[in-house]
Amino acid sequence: MDKLIIRGGNRLSGTIPISGAKNAALTLIPCALLTEEPLTLRNLPRLADIDGFQHLMNQFGVTTVIQGTRPEDFGRVMSLEATRITSNVAPYDLVRKMRASILVLGPMLARSGEATVSMPGGCAIGNRPIDLHLKALEAFGAKIELAAGYVRAIQPDGGMPGGDFDFPVVSVGATENALMAAVLANGTSRLFNAAREPEIVDLCNMLVAMGAEIEGIGTSNLTIHGVKRLHGATYRVMPDRIEAGSYACAAAITGGEVRLEGAKADDMMATIHALQAIGCDVTWDAKSITVGANGALKATNLTTAPYPGLATDMQAQLMALLCKAEGASVLKETIFENRFMHVPELARMGADITTEGRTAIVKGVDRLTGAEVMATDLRASMSLVIAALAAEGETTVRRLYHLDRGYERLEEKLQLVGADIERVDD
């Protein structure tokens, strides 16, 4: 198993290309199930989760062809064709490692009339039930059965009529599943209090490119007029706002300046405002964001919230940055109840952090020191890398499979801007 060796102290400077968004790509791939025509996705990141989802699609009889396989390339092009679906079962062995696998439920139900999906896995960051996914599908007319760790969704005779569903709490995944199920319903469906993250907008835009009829894109109220069929399309995956925010924190904690090529400021204003509150200089144009930190970092208070609030996926990275800020910061996590697992590992590097429930108090320290640390989930892994870049001495980060799920060739990108980081066999 690989590990990262990071020798801290180098000031990061230069340009990092931002990859296609993992969270968007994992929603766009299952859309191939909605049509028998080819769907081509461009700017697809090279990630373990993408490979896992590709294997899941192959399980259903979807043929996949990947271009851009040269090792020096960032991103790939994948063409998917579901001419004939040969299975509507997503088995445990393929689903258990990746929570996003539940996103095949809606499109498979819409296309095949039924779908059986194992309960999903993924990062252990708290209780993430799928009840809202199922309730939305029931509102559209589906029958739901639960047995032996599997979910089975079945259309009524004559197909799903569509319907209305009001989310009691905002849910990104449930909104995505509901959208994909509704586009082929017989009637009109309406979603109230829907998630409006940029990745939801990306999904809506691609579905429209495939022939779907969706109103209210970018708002919390979506109206979907079901159509008889969708056609193929070629679509470019949006840039990864979480990856961009992560590298912004890495630049800032080293007192450096990095241009994030391809990042879209409009998608990550909450992160930009957080960085500015911490004392970072942030500028942007239509093609990139530049983040620098020349002076002392400042303590601030941050709270995660559904979009357009601060993304929960940025909490760990910003916590690492605040470990070097002057004063005490308060971070409140409102989305997941178990997302401070990186705190003990940061403490091994000299961080001063106390937690109580979903609140963390971070007291800035003069120095962090290298240590052996272990990744606990995807974003927690990145927080350890960020801290290590500013730490004195050498840090070893283990359990890199978490990082490989969400950051395309991380060590290579950091090497581009001067980081002393390498991946070695453990």
Residue 266 DSSP one-character state: G
Question: What does the DSSP 8-state code read for residue 392?
Answer: B
Summarize the annotated binding site for phosphoenolpyruvate as residue ranges.
22-23
Summarize the annotated binding site as residue ranges.
22-23, 99, 128-132, 313, 335
Strands 394-398 and 143-147: unpaired
Number of residues in the chain: 426
**Other CB atoms within 10 Å distance of the CB of residue 83:** 11
Amino acid at 156: P
Q: Is 280 annotated as catalytic?
A: no
- Residue 180's closest CA among 146, 140, 239? 140
DSSP state of 310: B
Residues 369/396, Cβ–Cβ less than 8 Å: no
Distance CA 276, CA 68 (A): 37
Determine the Cα–Cα distance for residues 41 and 138; give it in Å rounded to an integer.
Answer: 30
Token digits for 296? 């002392």
Q: What residues are designated binding site for UDP-N-acetyl-alpha-D-glucosamine?
A: 99, 128-132, 313, 335
Radius of gyration of the chain from its Cα atoms, rounded to whole angstroms: 21
DSSP string, 313-330: GGHHHHHHHHTTSBSEEE
Q: Give, rounded to a whole angstrom, the gap between the first and last alpha carbons of the chain.
A: 5
**How is the chain split among helix, strand and coil, in percent rounded to 5?**
35, 30, 40
Strand partners, 185: none
Contact 121, 97 (CB under 8 A): yes
Of 123, 204, 249, 323, catalytic:
123
Q: Say which amino acid occupies 67.
A: Q
Alpha-carbon distance of 12 to 420, in angstroms, equals 10
Nearest to 33 by CA among 91, 86, 69: 86
Positions marked catalytic: 123
